[in-house]
Structure 1
């Protein structure tokens, strides 16, 4: 009788151990996806620019894009719109930008050059957008230097 009880306890122990092991295996096989973050917010840092500009004169605008991460797949683009005055905005020595057209940015630190073509004050905005749709706007205002 004692042997029968010992065999039943050993058998119950084996079955419960098997059930726990089976529950652990089935629980660990759940479909879990690893989420990879690619969309990182960015900030735009602009070095100080002069408050006035004369007709025919050029102002250098130094811009840096700051991000918390360096995901290689992120691309950036730029566009601008002039509200007041007349002038030309260009990236280094590239041709002047056309208002509201989007242009790719190849670097996170770059210089733009704004050249006044009128003797009045100038107001324009620059929009920088990443490939995930995040967009930042920077406004510029230059008074007439004369």
Structure 2
């Protein structure tokens, strides 16, 4: 079965890309295994001096779930099964690493999300992914 990774940041652009991707699912012979991934930024400095690792992990999980909610709702409404994951680290690097670990066949994302825009055509995460990923990247608007 085909495995597809959908990185999710909770932005309107991301939700539009997911809604469009749902419409494209008939391109595939069978409904692929879908993994939603939210990447949280590490907290700055040595915050673990003041806050327990358990609380930091819970914070990242809570924030990730907020970012994933709209995408989960869209897939639920369409009756499409998926798994969701929250990881912490540098966004593009973590997406590529996760896709490799899960042996995904394709990464699908919108060309822009919440990340800072480095280029005129693509958001910085999409641009980095295209350069870093050995797995095909499909950009959907």
Alignment TM class, shorter chain as reference: under 0.3
Structure (1/2) with the larger strand percentage: 1
User: Structure with the greater relative contact order (CA < 8 A, sep ≥ 6): 1 or 2?
Assistant: 2
Looking at CA atoms only, which structure, 1 or 2, has the larger radius of gyration?
1
User: Normalising by the residue count of structure 2, what TM-score does the alignment of the two structures yield?
Assistant: 0.26
